[in-house]
Amino acid sequence: MEHHDLLAGLVRLHVLHHAAEHEIYGQWMIDELAHHGYRLSPGTLYPMLHSMERKGYLTSREEYQGSTRRRLYRATDFGREGLAVAKRQLRELTGEAMNDGTCTSKQR
Ligand SMILES: [Zn+2]
């Protein structure tokens, strides 16, 4: 993914957003992100999912369909909380970056 460092946070939020609504799995998430213009390989997304689980944002379970196994992820309460905080900040940034560029901070 180009500009990985900048976009990785947005991708994580996108993952959390969907994982808060329903269970997701890797390939579904890759397809979903592709619709939004993110081209992620499994080699990028899977480590991201694993680290989000390690940090407590996601929880997972394995599901077997015949001989194929897939891991399904859901957002934890901690993940939902993080998403809510990030959405507030995203709204803040969107207000500033997408409008006239004027800093809306009350501190100045
Ligand atoms: Zn989406």
Instruction: State residue 80 phi and psi, 5-degree precision.
Output: -65, -40
- Predicted local confidence at residue 107, as pLDDT: 57
The Å distance, Cα 7 to ligand 1 centre, comes to 14
3-state secondary structure of 31: helix
- Predicted local confidence at residue 29, as pLDDT: 97
Domain extents in the chain:
4-88
- Indicate the length of the chain as a whole number: 108
The Å distance, Cα 29 to ligand 1 centre, comes to 8
- Predicted local confidence at residue 94, as pLDDT: 87
> Could you tell me the mean pLDDT of each successive run of 10 residues in the chain, 108 residues long?
88 97 96 94 95 98 91 98 96 84 62
The Å distance, Cα 73 to ligand 1 centre, comes to 15
- This prediction has a pTM of 0.85
- Predicted local confidence at residue 99, as pLDDT: 77
- Predicted local confidence at residue 73, as pLDDT: 98
- Predicted local confidence at residue 70, as pLDDT: 92
The Å distance, Cα 3 to ligand 1 centre, comes to 19
- Predicted local confidence at residue 65, as pLDDT: 85
The 8-class DSSP code of residue 95 comes to H
Residue 89: beta bridge partners?
none
Annotation: CATH topology of 4-88:
Arc Repressor Mutant, subunit A (1.10.10)
Give kind and range of the element (H or E) at residue 70. Answer: strand 68-75
Please answer whether residues 72 and 61 qualify as being in contact, where contact means their C-beta atoms are separated by less than 8 angstroms. yes
- How far apart CA 7 and CA 29 sit, in angstroms, is 15
